[in-house]
Amino acid sequence: MPKNENLFSSWRGWRRRVTSRLVHRGWRAVQRAGAVTAERPGPYRFGRIGVGTRLAFPQGTLFGEPWIELGEHCVIGEQVTLTAGMMPGVDLGPDPVLRIGNGVVLGRGSHVIASVPVEFGDDVFCGPYVYVTSDNHSYDDPEQPIGRQWPRSAPVHIGPGSWLGAGAVILPGARLGRNVVVAAGAVVRGEVPDHAVVAGAPARIIRRWAPEEGWQPPLRTPAPVPIPEDMTVEQLLALAELEREQERAGEQARQRGQAGERGLEEAREVDLEREPGAGAS
């Protein structure tokens, strides 16, 4: 390839790399500027935004904000929809309709639709694309399009400490207890007791915790060892490096062992060759 073509190709590659860096840097700046917090609510007027709560940019559909209350230290992911009422511009009265407790996490692309009270307890964690609604289409009239018929509505309550897996659907009237696990893709309606695991569509209880017996059926794996609260970042990094060194030492020991076995095998073959009559027919 001629020298000038090499230079032109290198310049084009450099230009693409610089452009990529600039695009990503600019998008991060846009995300920071577009995030919604109590100090920077943007165009939205929520009934309450607690300290430390952040709605990532870009937001999903948001309306009825005066009837939405967000607790403290919540993490609301990108493209999350939060709505109060059937449509924007409706007066819903003096009381909040959608209440989200402290420390709640709503994963990317999740939807929470509330025309009657929907409440999240503290420390509820939701994976991406979770759907929680107080409204469901009705189809009583066979002559009318289903989308034009008035929906059935019922309050929803999600107990504190619960975990909703990716793609879970919580239907009108659902009441989840404390520390409930909803498996990914489950469709939940009705009552779910405290400390239960539900899965399926419709969801059913597959595991429960009892004070006398523990988890039934028993968990298949041991509980993970938690990180001590007083451990610093530097100590964690040092521990990780120590584990890597131990893994390297173990790998070297295995390699030495394999090399020793190969050496013994080669020595046996040499001895066999030296024996009188070895290899004779």
Q: Name the maximum alpha-carbon separation found in the chain.
A: 105
User: What is the three-class DSSP state of 42?
Assistant: coil
| 137 in active site | yes
What letter would DSSP give residue 227?
A: P
Q: How far is Cα 57 from Cα 264, in angstroms, rounded to an integer? A: 64
CA-based angle 30:33:39, to the nearest 5? 165
What the block records as the tokens of 85 is 């009422």
* Catalytic, out of 24, 73, 111, 137: 137
CA–CA distance, 184 with 127 (Å, rounded to integer): 8
The structure tokens listed for 229 are 């609260």
H or E stretch covering 188:
strand 187-188
Cβ atoms of 179 and 198 within 8 Å: the answer is: no
Stated length of the chain: 281
User: Could you give the residue numbers annotated as active site?
Assistant: 137
